[in-house]
Structure 1
Amino acid sequence: MKLESNATIQIQKPVGEVFEGIVNPEKMTKYFISESTGRLETGKEVIWKFPEFDNKYPVNKIKIETNRSISFVWDPETIVKITLEELPDHSTLVRVNENGKELNENNLKWALENSGGWANFLACMKAYLEYGIQLRKGAFDFMRKG
């Protein structure tokens, strides 16, 4: 049995704006990461840095379907897939699924933490894209070493 984490939210913006908010590092740094070596594009590898961690995270095996889906690997055991669905009111339903880990105690903890993490990602993205609010700013400073 493979574990997975899931999160879903509806954002009151057209699918093109939401898509751009995910693939464009200038937008992503306003609500999720602190640095990126580039835009998410099929076949490319980028490096992400988060404000609360010293490590850098390679993001690879990127596959993009414009305004439909973004998938990538940042943990060799899992695949992250973000799907976008334009709704009749021109808002966008965003679903995140990360899966692939075997069921064991450590990975069960991972699944629970990542489900919360992806829900936070979506809430922060919604606040930024709809209202320009940077919810993540300072939210995880307590996790910094030192």
Structure 2
Amino acid sequence: MQELEITTSLQISKPITEVYEAIVDPAKMSKYFIAQGSERMQEGKSVEWTFPEFPDMIIKVKIIRLKSPELIIFEWEGSKGISLEVNIRLEGRPENTTLVRVSEGKMKDSEEGIIWLKRNTEGWANFLACLKAYLEYDINLRKGAFDFMRNN
């Protein structure tokens, strides 16, 4: 049976170290993606994230590997009851830009897997767009964007 994996990428017009810090530092991440993070990402530790539209839901994130400024690997409950690995790879590009590649997975090619693939692909594309808007223009695209989901 084929396995499903999410892959997405986006180039950001900022240096690699600035992009890396915006991901591992919860104070920065809370300006574009999460509402709050328990602490800075550190290899071998776990952190907790809350999201603006779901303030009572706590997402636990186990940091597997960090290699500053090019690699962030963590595990989280990517689908209900299933721990999945997320790889964020940063590549410095010409003119102080950074290519950010995100992959998550893998899940079986099943109904549950297809639902996960759709939901989390959308989520990672949103993450990258929000990261770009924050770093390049100091805009929080997420603010209010998902308020409609609070009661669903």
Normalised by the length of structure 1, the TM-score is 0.96
Report how many aligned residue pairs link the two structures. Answer: 146
Aligned-pair distance for 1:8?
A: 0.6
Partner of 1:145: 151
Corresponding position of 2:62: 60
Aligned pair partner of 1:96 in 99, 102, 108: 102
How large is the Cα RMSD of the aligned pairs? 1.2
- Residue number in structure 2 paired with 1:109: 115
Work out the CA distance in 2 between the residues paired with 1:56 and 1:26. 17
Which residue of 83, 90, 101 corresponds with 2:89? 83
SS at match of 2:69: coil
The answer to whether the 8 Å contact 2:42/2:63 transfers is no
TM-score when scaled to structure 2?
0.92
Alpha-carbon separation, structure 1, partners of 2:27 and 2:145: 19
Poorly superposed stretches of 4+, deviation over 4 Å: none
Separation (CA, whole Å) in 1 of partners of 2:111 and 2:118: 11
Displacement of 1:20 after TM fit?
Answer: 0.2
Q: Deviations over 1:7-29 (max 9, x none)?
A: 11000000000000000001000
State the alpha-carbon separation in 1 of the partners of residues 6 and 18 from structure 2: 25
Aligned residue for 1:124, secondary structure, equals helix
**Structure 1: gaps spanning 5 or more residues:** none
Letter in 2 for 1:38: E
Q: CA deviation at 1:79?
A: 0.4
Structure showing the higher strand proportion among its residues: 2
Identity %, equivalent residues: 49
